[in-house]
Chains A and B, each alone.
Chain A
């Protein structure tokens, strides 16, 4: 864990606190003020018996993020705000690791992590997320948002189905941008040895999710309405794939004792009516994704051949010939490809970064196929989502048979 600066004293001064909201920041000056306002308003509305506080941990912003946070901390009020500035090179993962480390010194009963990029809309949902954890009804509470098929396609087509097939259950959104954790769960998590993928883009979030799912932790979902969209700079897609799928593949080896047991895939229980799918606003153009897939099929075959068996590759060739709206990418084929890449990652058949980045054109092909399937209304989208979850479950014996 990175060492926090002298601001650690300010963090410890927040104790004793029942619920702590942690914001790992990196260049969030544009949105942080509004997020802190929304958080303070929301937390002030909770019962007076629950003492709440906010901790901003900055991973090395070079904009005015720290100044905005310090200004908010100086305002005083019912919900105190502390700011920790981490030294070292700027990185989002360092902010989150530093945040978790700082949380250990406060000893809160419940801790909420919030990605400030999601803006004030996500901040308003934090009290609802904290509630089941404070009431000891859950150890981990994830947000359940209504979302359109084109939102979070890496989550819906890979991260969640894979985690669900492996660990027998998963929230609809493995990386929801916000989460509430029980202090006891967090202590267990912090006692674990760090993973070498902790410094990946979403390494810590994935490890938190996998730890919760692999143990017998009580995980629930809390319905929070429409999914807020993240602002700010978006990482390039290959880096995003490597930074999310990489940690999940990596943790498969660490948690194999948990997932090699037979389990049935299901969603985690939702405290309320689970939000449904909403239609996309307008038609999402898939031509570029199909083109990216075709380009991969043309040029990346020598790389894929090192990971994917010939009979699976043979099923890809005809897909490259499908024109426009006829394009399809079957869920079963996609699940098998993901398992092949997981095996290749485990067996180090390629440099791992190359392997993860080489998955990108296949992923774009799958997203194009999924969005074309989901065009037939909310029912079509729900069916397409169910199909991908089922495919990962059906293909699981293939992974079991080859995992060494």
Chain B
């Protein structure tokens, strides 16, 4: 009974401890790689921040109007800080991926291959969305100011329509880039965009003929008068 109990205990311990002992170096390598990745990411972030400070990136972005656009889009961080964060997370993810590779778990290699192959598409998709976001904001604001200055009502509606159209376009491009339901996205965007344009044309041309006529007449009248009813400005 006693021998049997010891055998069972030994076998069980071996069953648990041996795989653990075999896996332990790989786990340690995983932890080391993640740790090294984290340290490297921190250092790289600091280096990038110093480099961009030396290049006065924040001042340049402020001069180009990019900081203002980001702030209005809800992004309060400085552009150099954003670049630093991007570098930090990229290196950290690389470290984690290398660590996972070191685990040599079944299927890890293939999964990592898929993930690594997906990264360039994801980066492009993120860039498309960020550019689309900024462009949507700038064009929406331009439309808002133009419609108010044309002294036509509904400026907010027009600005929102412009903003959402640009965002929808950016989202469609990003999803296509990611390969997510490519045909469906293209088809859905085409139908939605074409439908919206057709609906607006019909609404303006048929439903709001009088409004269109008044708006055009008002525009012609303003142009003819040099704007603002007989006042010369310069």
Residues of A within 8 A of B (CB): 150-155, 159, 175, 202, 229-230, 234, 236-238, 240-241, 244, 284-286, 288-289, 291-292, 295-296, 299-300, 302-303, 306, 347-352, 354, 357-358, 360-361, 364, 367, 371
Which residues of B lie under 8 Å from residue A295 when comparing CB positions? 148, 151, 153, 155
B177 adjacent to chain A (CB < 8 Å): no
Residue contact A155 to B228, C-beta cutoff 8 Å: no
A interface footprint on B144-156 (CB within 8 Å = 1, 0 otherwise)? 1111110101011
Residue contact A150 to B231, C-beta cutoff 8 Å: yes
B65 adjacent to chain A (CB < 8 Å): yes
10 contacts between A and B (CB under 8 A): A238-B149, A286-B229, A291-B151, A292-B149, A292-B151, A295-B153, A300-B144, A306-B72, A351-B141, A354-B145
Minimum Cβ distance to chain A for residue B142 (Å): 6
Q: How far is the CA of A358 from the CA of B141 in the complex (A)?
A: 10
Residue contact B234 to A357, C-beta cutoff 8 Å: no
Instruction: Report if A371-B231 is in contact (Cβ < 8 Å); known contacts: A306-B68, A348-B68, A350-B65.
Output: yes
B233 adjacent to chain A (CB < 8 Å): yes
Chain B contacts with A in 79-134, Cβ cutoff 8 A:
none
Residue contact B149 to A237, C-beta cutoff 8 Å: yes
Partner of A285, one of B147, B151, B229: B229
Residue contact B232 to A152, C-beta cutoff 8 Å: yes
Which residues of A lie under 8 Å from residue B155 when comparing CB positions? 295, 299-300
Q: How far is the CA of A306 from the CA of B155 in the complex (A)?
A: 18
| Residue of B146, B148, B228, B234 ringed by the most chain A CB atoms within 10 A | B234
Residue contact B233 to A351, C-beta cutoff 8 Å: no
Q: How far is the CA of A302 from the CA of B140 in the complex (A)?
A: 12
Minimum Cβ distance to chain B for residue A328 (Å): 17
Residue contact A357 to B227, C-beta cutoff 8 Å: no
Which residues of B lie under 8 Å from residue A348 when comparing CB positions? 62-65, 68
Q: How far is the CA of A212 from the CA of B38 in the complex (A)?
A: 60
Minimum Cβ distance to chain B for residue A338 (Å): 15
Q: How far is the CA of A303 from the CA of B63 in the complex (A)?
A: 18
Minimum Cβ distance to chain A for residue B191 (Å): 31
Instruction: Report if A284-B230 is in contact (Cβ < 8 Å); known contacts: A238-B149, A299-B156, A354-B142.
Output: yes
Chain B contacts with A in 54-82, Cβ cutoff 8 A:
62-65, 68-69, 72
Residue of A nearest to B221 (CB): A288
Which residues of B lie under 8 Å from residue A302 when comparing CB positions? 144
Minimum Cβ distance to chain A for residue B185 (Å): 31
Residue of A nearest to B138 (CB): A351
Residue contact A300 to B145, C-beta cutoff 8 Å: yes
B205 adjacent to chain A (CB < 8 Å): no
Residue contact A234 to B227, C-beta cutoff 8 Å: yes
B223 adjacent to chain A (CB < 8 Å): yes
Residue contact A288 to B145, C-beta cutoff 8 Å: no
B194 adjacent to chain A (CB < 8 Å): no
4 A-B pairs besides A296-B148, A354-B141 with CB distance below 8 A are A240-B233, A244-B234, A295-B151, A300-B148
Q: How far is the CA of A240 from the CA of B228 in the complex (A)?
A: 12
Partner of A237, one of B63, B72, B147, B228: B228
Residue of A nearest to B68 (CB): A349
Which residues of A lie under 8 Å from residue B222 when comparing CB positions? 236
B226 adjacent to chain A (CB < 8 Å): yes
Chain B contacts with A in 5-55, Cβ cutoff 8 A:
none
Residue of A nearest to B155 (CB): A299
| Residue of A202, A348, A371 ringed by the most chain B CB atoms within 10 A | A348
Instruction: Report if A150-B232 is in contact (Cβ < 8 Å); known contacts: A237-B149, A295-B148, A300-B144.
Output: yes
Partner of B234, one of A240, A350, A371: A240
Which residues of A lie under 8 Å from residue B153 when comparing CB positions? 295
Which residues of A lie under 8 Å from residue B234 when comparing CB positions? 152, 154-155, 159, 175, 202, 240, 244
Which residues of B lie under 8 Å from residue A364 when comparing CB positions? 228
Which residues of B lie under 8 Å from residue A150 when comparing CB positions? 230-232
Which residues of A lie under 8 Å from residue B65 when comparing CB positions? 348, 350-352
Q: How far is the CA of A238 from the CA of B153 in the complex (A)?
A: 17
Q: How far is the CA of A152 from the CA of B230 in the complex (A)?
A: 11
Minimum Cβ distance to chain A for residue B23 (Å): 57
Which residues of A lie under 8 Å from residue B146 when comparing CB positions? 238, 357
Which residues of B lie under 8 Å from residue A360 when comparing CB positions? 149
Minimum Cβ distance to chain A for residue B232 (Å): 5
Which residues of B lie under 8 Å from residue A296 when comparing CB positions? 148
Instruction: Report if A288-B229 is in contact (Cβ < 8 Å); known contacts: A299-B156, A303-B144.
Output: yes
Which residues of B lie under 8 Å from residue A241 when comparing CB positions? 233
Residue contact A289 to B228, C-beta cutoff 8 Å: yes
Residue contact A350 to B68, C-beta cutoff 8 Å: yes
Counting from the closest, the 4 A-B pairs by CB-CB distance are A234-B226, A154-B233, A299-B155, A237-B227
Residue of B nearest to A348 (CB): B65
Q: How far is the CA of A153 from the CA of B145 in the complex (A)?
A: 21
Q: How far is the CA of A364 from the CA of B233 in the complex (A)?
A: 10
Residue contact B149 to A357, C-beta cutoff 8 Å: yes
A interface footprint on B204-231 (CB within 8 Å = 1, 0 otherwise)? 0000000000000000001100111111
Minimum Cβ distance to chain B for residue A403 (Å): 16
Which residues of B lie under 8 Å from residue A306 when comparing CB positions? 68, 72
